[in-house]
Amino acid sequence: MIHQQQPLPNLKTLCDSGQLLSRRDLLGRCGIGLGMLGLADVLHDSGELVSAASIDSGFDPLLVRAPHFAPKAKRVIHFFLNGGPSHVDTFDPKPMLAQYAGKPAPLSFTTERKTGEPFPSPFTFRKYGESGIEVSDLFARTAAHVDRMAVIRSMYAQVPNHEPSLMLMNCGDSVQPRPSVGSWVLYGLGTENQNLPGFVAMCPGGYPIKDTENWQAGFLPGALQGTFIDSQHTAIDRLIENIRSPHATSDMQRRQLDLLQSLNASHRSVRIDNRLDARIHSFEMAFRMQMEATEAFDVSRETKQTLELYGSGVHAKQTLIARRLVERGVRYVQLWHGAGQPWDNHEQIETNLKKLAGELDQPIAALLSDLAQRGMLDDTLVIWGGEFGRTPTVELGGDGKAKAGRDHNHYGFTVWMAGGGIRGGTIHGATDDFGFKAVENPTSVHDLHATILHLMGFNHERLTYRYAGRDFRLTDVHGRVMHDIIA
């Protein structure tokens, strides 16, 4: 991917051709020597130096590429419950909380804000499937598929704050700006459909916390960043802005783009600029999307039976759209719950969780059934989780009174995965008896990312990109694959 730059024309060639040099050009060309050789090394190390062949061939980062080994999953649908879902109210039952209800906590369970007594879950857990995995009534329909799921009960993050934890879960680094998981997957595999974005992020009502940084391409080619869709809209013109031109027909737009492409090619021939490449890709993608995206995002084309299976509401719609997108070759679809951080339940958690889980339970169950019925679940990885979990103790207000909610907890939380090479009906790891901290097989976010990449056919230590003099990877210098949850 890193080559030598085409040579600059020499002074005699420029003079013979009648091209005059500016003072800046003359000084630039006369300064060639050890300094330029040193610059070439710097550019080479930073990944900025590519070949004339790459320029002429129009290198496309979205073209399909083979992974390191045979993948178990070809595509991903990621339900992101932004705000931090409570694991002790959903997929990690803790009877000990009921035993200590109304009593002082035997240990300190503080993460960020002041908390009080152990807070028993107001929801009932039941065993489901042949595996007998316990799941809260909040996700009773999803739990019917528990034998297809691997429940990771020992996740941990680094800090109890949304912003860095979102960056860690989505981009592998809580501090530095890095490419997102979807961008890394797209970088490794390319996309199977050049007429649709390879990576789509849907969030009804606007952006989550950290906005577009959650699906950024970082230092990877800009064409690999996620495409944001505000799924609250129904009309295709609102769902995908500027999907139709009010001023030009398709033929007119094609001629305009062809002219623009020729100008861009001339401009690009003497410089390397990933930002320009990203713009070129976005123009072409926008043109090609006008036909296929209109059809892909139109759920009214589904049968009545399918629409009833998913239910009503924005989450039913965006989940069904996700299935339609991956069915058409989109590589990575991330489904956010809503703008801001709706799962950040510091108070009245019983009421809030009933509402939030009620919006997701039927669509998730429908997706798993639908993918299985279509023969797609075996190679589609479905992921559920947020940036961290919640405390097992009740959060206290400034007046010292209980708020009937839970604070952030990065020491222990739950993520589950299904389909795409997952050994169903399995539990990986455990938190302590109160659900505060991962104690059995503690699993870092880097471990989760390493496992996702492994399922997609990649050795996470070999999927690298050279930037600023070093080879970067999603898992940095960490990560171990959870082989026990892989079929």
* Averaged pLDDT of the chain: 88
Query: Above 80 in pLDDT, residue 18?
Result: no
Alpha carbon separation from 98 to 7, 118, 124, 348, 426 (Å, rounded): 74, 8, 12, 18, 26
Query: Above 80 in pLDDT, residue 48?
Result: no
Query: Above 90 in pLDDT, residue 246?
Result: no
Question: What is the percent of the chain where pLDDT is above 70?
Answer: 84
253-272 mean pLDDT: 76
- pLDDT band per the 50, 70, 90 thresholds, residue 47: very low
Q: What is the pLDDT of residue 7?
A: 47
Q: What is the pLDDT of residue 55?
A: 37
Q: Cα–Cα distance between 276 and 447 in angstroms, integer?
A: 35
Q: What is the pLDDT of residue 25?
A: 56
According to CATH, where is 3.40.720 located in the chain?
Answer: 75-240+297-485
145-154 mean pLDDT: 98
- pLDDT band per the 50, 70, 90 thresholds, residue 321: very high
Contacts of 99 (CB under 8 A, 6+ apart): none
- pLDDT band per the 50, 70, 90 thresholds, residue 249: confident
86-111 mean pLDDT: 94
Options 3.30.300, 3.40.720, 1.25.40, 3.30.465; CATH for 75-240+297-485 is 3.40.720
Q: Which of 40 and 243 is assigned the larger pLDDT?
A: 243
Q: What is the pLDDT of residue 284?
A: 67
Q: Which of 365 and 267 is assigned the larger pLDDT?
A: 365
Q: What is the pLDDT of residue 372?
A: 98
